[in-house]
């Protein structure tokens, strides 16, 4: 089964396999399945064509995948353009939401860059 250009895994429960689409997490997957009146535990290969079409209709009404990615990147670009604090943090590749940076923040900053020679000074006597 393909939705919005993404292949949905056949062997997993629908509740889990719908999360392969960008913008759909577990709560939204449950909401989609309950409004389509489909059992959460069903697999994608067990769906009838009517159930598949119901899910497809609901998913296509929402902003997901490419459209959502464009909106998010547009929002970040806007923050950078107006040079607000959050935009500057994005530009410098630092944490945006108030986390500490003296230690941690390695996800955004990347691996440590050692300053100096990288070895400890020898004791002088």
Residue range 84-117, pLDDT digits in tens: 999 999 999 899 998 888 888 888 888 888 887 7
d(CA 33, CA 100): 40
Q: Which residues, including other chains, have CB under 8 Å from residue 88's CB and lie 6 or more apart?
A: 80
Residue range 46-65, pLDDT digits in tens: 888 888 888 889 888 888 88
d(CA 44, CA 6): 13
In 4-118, where does DSSP find H-type helix? Answer: 14-17, 26-35, 49-61, 65-81, 85-91, 106-109
Provide the whole-model pTM.
0.71
All structural domains of the chain, each given as residue ranges with its CATH number in brackets, are: 2-62 (1.10.8.50), 68-109 (4.10.910.10)
């Amino acid at each position: 089964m393909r939705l919005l250009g993404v292949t949905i895994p056949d062997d997993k429960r629908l509740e889990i396999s719908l999360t392969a689409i960008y913008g759909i997490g577990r709560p939204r997957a449950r909401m989609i399945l309950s409004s389509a009146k489909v059992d959460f535990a069903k697999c994608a290969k067990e769906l009838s064509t009517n159930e598949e079409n119901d899910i497809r209709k609901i998913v296509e009404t929402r902003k997901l995948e490419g459209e959502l990615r464009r909106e998010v990147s547009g929002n970040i670009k806007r923050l950078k353009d107006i040079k607000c604090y959050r935009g500057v943090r994005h530009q410098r590749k630092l944490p945006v939401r108030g986390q500490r940076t003296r230690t941690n923040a390695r996800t955004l900053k990347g691996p440590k860059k050692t300053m100096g020679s990288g070895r400890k000074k020898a004791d002088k006597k």
